[in-house]
Amino acid sequence: MVAARTLAPLFAPAALALFATITLAVPETVGRERKSARANAACLQPEATDAGVVVSIGETGDLHLADGRLITQAGILLATPHAPLSAPHAQLGTLLGMELRFHVLQPAPDRWGRLSADILLPAPVARKDVEMGVDSGAEPAYTLAQWLVDHGMARAAPDASAMSLSRTCMTALLAREEKARAGRRGQWRDQAVLAADEPDAILAKAGDFAVVEGIIVSVRERERVTYLNFGSQWTRDFTVTIWKKNRAKLAAAGLRAVELEGRHVRVRGMVEAGRGPLIDVLTPEQIEVIGTE
């Protein structure tokens, strides 16, 4: 589970020696060719509005800057520490000492002191992929979130931060995750999407982030909450809840609960233990409609 607090840094300046084999080139602004990122052009601010040097990295991937600020990449959650290769934290270690350019998505820190941001991928990191002949199967990444998702080191998580990415950007990130999953990269080498008809397996992820796929058997709308049921035994089977305050956001994105019955969907979010396992949907990007039964 990703802890909802700022944890002690895993990487401090002294840890730079651990990455002696990694060449840290002089920091520079990533100048991506527009033609190679045309499909993602609407997903990123024209240019970064802020910058800072990374001095340490927290257990959950939060980046501590030299000026005292703490930033977190919006729209993703790192793979859990037990994921194959424990790659996320090792790879993030390459950012130590680098200047990052980013766009802050919220005016003030959250209750853990973090600023949610869209972070540009440093050019030395992008070049390293090219030099190593890494093919992620997606358009070249130009943000840290895209790079981590491409390599299977993070999952798209629309509800992971106080201020997430735009809907356009989250949709693009979900598509990149699909390619990483199909290519069995990183965490997807031995972690699969959970089946909605296996509630015990989902319940085992209580308190953690999960991606669940299945067919919505029935939809029940109450005054305060809507239930998307993936089985007939509501005390045991997997359920998705949509609270009244979030209905309008989903409807505006074309997701109307009454029209989802019988649809094959993929849902992502934090698993809660209710009468059965459940995920509370806050944003439309948490539900992907795959097809009909």
Cβ atoms 48, 120 nearer than 8 A: yes
| Residue 5 token pair | 């607090």
C-alpha angle 39-61-3 in degrees, rounded to nearest 5? 120
- Domain of 244, in residue numbers: 194-292
CATH code for the domain of 207:
2.40.50.140
3-class secondary-structure state, position 158: coil
Contact between residue 245 and residue 238 where contact means Cβ atoms under 8 Å apart: no
The segment with the largest mean pLDDT, out of 1-5, 9-13, 103-107, 246-250, is 246-250
Q: Is residue 263 part of a domain?
A: yes
Residue 7 pLDDT:
43
Count how many domains the chain has: 2
Task: Select from 189, 221, 236 the last residue of a domain.
Answer: 189
How large is the average pLDDT for residues 277-292?
89
C-beta of residue 209 within 8 angstroms of C-beta of residue 203: no
Look at residue 27 and tell me whether its pLDDT is greater than 50.
Answer: no
The reply to whether 226 and 259 lie within a common domain is: yes
Phi first, then psi, for residue 73 (nearest 5°) are -75, 120
Give the model confidence (pLDDT) of 200-227 as tens digits.
Answer: 999 998 988 889 999 999 999 999 999 9
Q: Is the distance from CB of 87 to CB of 153 less than 8 angstroms? A: yes
Q: Model-level pTM greater than 0.85?
A: no
* Residue with the two structure tokens 């009468």: 275
